[in-house]
Amino acid sequence: MGSSRAGYEIPPGAGINTGRKHEPLPLSELLNSRFWEYKMHFGESYLQAATMLQPVGGMDAIAKAFEQRVGRLIRYKAEVTEIKQNSDGVQVIYRDRKSNQYQSVDGKFAICTIPLSVLTNIKADFSKEHQAAITVGASSYNRAVKVGFQSKRRFWEEDYNIYGGISWTEADIIQMWYPSTGFHNPQGIIVGAYIWSNDISKRWEAMTFNQRLSLAISQGEKIHPGYNQEVSVANGCTVAWGKVPYSQGAWISWEQDSRKKAYQVLNEPEGNVYFAGDYMSYLSGWQEGAILSAHKIVNDITTRVQNS
Ligand SMILES: Cc1cc2nc3c(=O)[nH]c(=O)nc-3n(C[C@H](O)[C@H](O)[C@H](O)COP(=O)(O)OP(=O)(O)OC[C@H]3O[C@@H](n4cnc5c(N)ncnc54)[C@H](O)[C@@H]3O)c2cc1C
């Protein structure tokens, strides 16, 4: 008989209108879809469960708020090229990308927040053990790819009564995300692909932007017939984090074994260099992990200085 969980073909209403439920899908089809593996209860998992909050104005509002408070301390366009230690502490050498000149800063301690995927290619006089741990971490990154479109109209609301949430697919695009704000505005942004399987990501990284956008449209068409009339390559954008030079990956996914070994090595300072970032937490892939890690390292250094 099925349940109302899948919704109604005819919604229940007043009087004698009991509504008509969608025909249940055959059990074999449900099992074959592997939907049950995690997609069905994705929103129940510890890291994805309600209540989820979004920064007003977009995710970079958080970085901008930090900038407002500590911007005077930031050196922009400074690409770290080498980390060296000496008897006084740490020297960080960087290339000023405006002047193309190399400069350095010296300090007693350094907190390195460069992702391991990038750090692995930066010259440093780290111990073999630390360098090996960085190499392991660098090879553990998820290479997420996203596609987004500005849609002519909010067809998901007007035609499907979808207000936020995710459609999971078996296609490369994996997911389509619907905005959970701006309901009934004339237009909206739809996430047309959110790929976090490295095999698929690598194939998509090799495509041109337009190829990615076209493929996302044709795959989304299967979920929403007529989609290709609502979104277009001209109004799309895409990011492959594996190809972003200063990220070279989206977030780290430590294997159980490397959590026990490489992660533990990096949890200890290399001389006066400390490692911080979401990758040094059990909340990797989340800003909260980065912030908790920063707090931990500042405390570690404070304790070390107080005890010295
Ligand atoms: C697709 C995607 C979706 C996400 N969604 C969410 C979400 O919904 N919620 C959430 O909380 N988190 C999310 N995250 C995770 C969040 O972005 C990270 O947890 C957070 O940015 C980690 O902060 P961090 O300071 O450790 O590292 P980063 O933010 O990566 O900062 C590292 C910095 O080092 C700089 N850098 C790199 N190389 C050099 C160099 N050679 N010299 C100088 N600087 C260098 C980089 O430019 C960068 O600014 C998402 C991440 C991705 C990729």
Residues spanned by the domain of 158: 142-243
CA–centroid distance, 281 to ligand 1, in Å, is: 13
Q: Is residue 224 part of a domain?
A: yes
More confident residue, 283 or 34: 283
* Mean of pLDDT values over 247-268: 97
Same domain, 135 and 276: yes
Residue 242's pLDDT band (boundaries 50, 70, 90)?
very high
pLDDT band at 34, cuts 50/70/90?
confident
Lookup result for tokens 């389509």? 176
Residue whose CA is at the smallest distance from ligand 1 atom 25:
277
Distance, CA of 27 to CA of 139 (rounded, Å): 39
CB distance 173 to 146 below 8 Å? no
For a mutational test of ligand 1's pocket, the pick from 113, 201, 280, i.e. the residue with the most ligand atoms closer than 8 A to its C-beta, is 113
Whether 106 and 162 map to the same domain: the answer is: no
Tokens 């207000």 sit on residue: 163
Distance 114 CA to ligand 1 centre (A): 9
| Same domain, residue pair 290 and 208 | no
Q: What share of the chain is helix, strand, coil (3-state, %, to 5)?
A: 35, 25, 40
Same domain, 227 and 279: no
Nearest atom in ligand 1 to 251's CA:
53
**Position 243 pLDDT exceeds 90:** yes
- Could you give the dihedral angle defined by the CA atoms of residues 118, 120, 125 and 131, in that order, rounded to the nearest 10 degrees? 140
Query: What is the pLDDT averaged over residues 290-297?
Result: 98
Same domain for 276 and 128: yes
For residue 275, the domain's CATH number is 3.50.50.60
Same domain, 157 and 146: yes
Residue 286 Cβ contacting ligand 1 at under 6 Å? yes
Q: 196 CB less than 6 Å from ligand 1?
A: no
CA distances to 113, 148, 280 from 90, rounded to whole Å, are: 15, 42, 21
> Which atom of ligand 1 lies nearest, measured to the CA of 194?
1
Span from the CA of 143 to the centroid of ligand 1 (angstroms): 13
Over 80: is that where the pLDDT of 1 sits? no
Q: Ligand 1 in contact with 192 (CB < 6 A)?
A: no
Residue nearest (by alpha carbon) to ligand 1 atom 47: 246
Task: Judge if 187 and 231 occupy the same domain.
Answer: yes
Q: Does 214 share its domain with 147?
A: yes
For residue 167, name the pLDDT band (cuts at 50, 70, 90): very high
Q: What is the mean pLDDT of residues 251-263?
A: 97
Q: 268 and 287, same structural domain? A: yes
Distance 44 CA to ligand 1 centre (A): 25
Of 107, 118, 115, 102, the closest CA to residue 84 belongs to 107
> Per-residue confidence at 33, pLDDT binned at 50, 70, 90?
confident
17 and 165 part of one domain: no
Distance 152 CA to ligand 1 centre (A): 31
Domain count, the chain: 3
User: Is 69 a member of any domain?
Assistant: no
Going by alpha carbons, the residue nearest to atom 43 of ligand 1 is 79
Residue 132 has pLDDT above 70, yes or no: yes
Asked whether residue 219 is assigned to any structural domain, the reply reads yes
**170 shares its domain with 198:** yes
Average pLDDT in the chain? 96
Q: Is the pLDDT of residue 111 over 70?
A: yes
308: CA distance to ligand 1 center in Å?
A: 33
Mean pLDDT of 179-185: 95
Q: Give the pLDDT score at 5.
A: 86
